[in-house]
Amino acid sequence: MAKVIVWNLVTLEGFFEGKEKWDLGFHNDAWGEELSALSNEFGRKAGLLVFGRVTYEGMKAYWTTTTEEEGETKAFMNALPKLVASRSLTGSDWNNTTVTADIAGEIISRKAAPGKDIYVFGSAELTESLLAAGLVDEIMLAVAPVTIGQGTPFFKPGTEKRSFALIAARPLKNGTVILHYGVKAAA
């Protein structure tokens, strides 16, 4: 049975983007050889990448056009099957992409099948809906050693309390800390 693992990079305040959509400048404070290696490890462990529509559109725009030397990361981002939660998209021209309005049903079906793990990248609203449905097994956050003053919080205010069990905490040489949590079942 595949696990659903949420992965994101946040500031010390818990923002996953700055004041504007796709304001990800703080990623430069976290990115380096170690985080790149971890990203590539995810690519080898993943059987499916899951995005909300907004994250998907940004990822597609970047990974299908970048000329930067991204190597293994670029290869897996373009090759792996992708699932997009959207009520407005009707299809995609990014290879190996399925668009669905029934993301919970798709995740339930794919979790039950044998195979590699399912990674949810970015997608704070999607993460919240998957957590509420009890479909997330683990959360991994790279906490960048920076504050940006304002931005979009990864966990939105006003959501229900949830408990997590620490699986691992790993500091990187640049001060970023990888926090890996299991989602505790609701009591």
Beta bridge pairs of residue 8: 141
**pLDDT score for 177:** 97
Q: What residues pair up with 179 in beta bridges, in sequence order?
A: 141, 169
So what's the pLDDT on residue 70?
A: 65
- Name the class of domain 4-183: alpha beta
| pLDDT value for 83 | 94
Q: Kindly report, residue by residue over 32-89, the tens digit of the pLDDT.
A: 889 889 988 888 999 999 998 988 888 888 888 877 666 778 788 888 999 999 999 8
CA–CA gap between residue 131 and residue 125 (Å, rounded): 10
